[in-house]
Structure 1
């Protein structure tokens, strides 16, 4: 519960990375790794719901739909990786990338892409679906991509926040169905006891977020990427 509350507080400042931060602890406890992903998804869905509700009036639903199309294609592959592949192989590769990228971006001026195309958004959505199913972390690459568009902090979160929420709900339902079919049970209702601590941390993180400027928000994003990358290398 302490790990979940702390992870929720830190991740809510930037709007993502709850699963990466929380997973750094949960994956080292003596619990089933699939159950750990289910716990992180449940708590993250609760966190994201609260944050999306706060941003509901500025969400770009048309732009979001493009990313979700890609996410729908990537999610089944991510679930397959979680259930059948060696977790250490892909989590270490993801961790190294996020760590190096976040550190690099802290040392240079923000990178802004002047050319945009829906195909690129779909591609990023596919990657988000894969990481969402495999490690319960759909927001990493979508967050990076939104930061490259030169948007202010509210517009960035108004896109990647609902993307994370919708992909995690889809991943949780799919995982519950598939895991329940193979093991005889779905998500443990006892995991819901972790949600209150997660929401408490989210409330604290949102207070910090409101005090950030766009520049400070960009730095917070990069710091969260570094923390996320390090958590997957532990």
Structure 2
């Protein structure tokens, strides 16, 4: 990081905002945080911090969902992710920062438009093989960017599963990918002292954002706020893509 006088406050703001949105929606920490982090952090630092913070943010939610987990639905995604994460982490070590930033921007735009429009599609039959394939691609994306649950979230919706079933799938998969990514990143020696320092100074802002998001989740109109969050994600994607 260069020009720390400005970049540290931006880092802390992005960390707080990502945790706040995740507390409200149950996902999207990495999408929100990366929209600013990638301007002054390397793709490797960004992915590492998303993984570390994501384990904390999502881990709590999975613990709360532990009685709703269905191993029969989860295992294909976890199997695919086990193969995909090492591929993504390997790609990360030589990724071009600008291309990664633009790629994340496009992902933000595509996802936010999809979620806002919610096209009425006939549920896909899917199956274990298709689920494993999505798990693999999701693992590659998670290892490369730290964005661990986006593809599984979209796929769960296409399967036509109820909302509570979807959440009991994409959040455990995200935590699994975060854990695998952390192991692979550590094994490759990519966790630098500077990244550890950023994690430590960002942790209080992560906890504060999560607390506030969860606090407001039960008080605000969920549908209206969801649209606001998606609109902000879309704007962030445009900013990253140009």
* TM-score of Structure 1 vs Structure 2, range by shorter chain: 0.7 to 0.9
Q: For 1:158-215, what per-residue CA distance to the aligned partner results, in whole angstroms no more than 9, with x for missing partners?
A: 11001101101110121122035xx887962662332232122223323444568997
Aligned to 1:149: 159
Aligned to 1:81: 91
Residues 1:226 and 2:237 aligned together: no
Aligned length: 231
In structure 1, C-alpha distance between the alignment counterparts of 2:241 and 2:212, rounded to whole Å: 27
TM-score (norm 2): 0.80
Aligned to 1:12: 23
In structure 1, C-alpha distance between the alignment counterparts of 2:222 and 2:159, rounded to whole Å: 13
Shift of 1:53: 1.4
Aligned to 2:14: 3
In structure 1, C-alpha distance between the alignment counterparts of 2:163 and 2:225, rounded to whole Å: 7
Shift of 1:75: 0.8
> Structure 1 residues 69 and 48 mapped into 2: Cα distance closer, same or farther (>3 Å)?
same
Structure 1, unmatched stretches of 5+, are none
> Structure 1 residues 212 and 157 mapped into 2: Cα distance closer, same or farther (>3 Å)?
farther
TM-score (norm 1): 0.82
Partner SS state of residue 147, structure 2: coil
Over the aligned positions, Cα root-mean-square deviation in angstroms equals 3.1
Shift of 1:90: 4.9
Q: Which fold has the larger relative contact order, with Cα–Cα distance below 8 Å and residues 6 or more apart in sequence?
A: 1
Structure 2, unmatched stretches of 5+, are 1-11
Partner SS state of residue 116, structure 1: coil
Q: How does 1:1-234 map to 2 (within 5 A)?
A: 1-29=12-40, 31-107=41-117, 109-180=119-190, 188=196, 191-210=199-218, 226=234, 229-230=237-238, 232-233=240-241
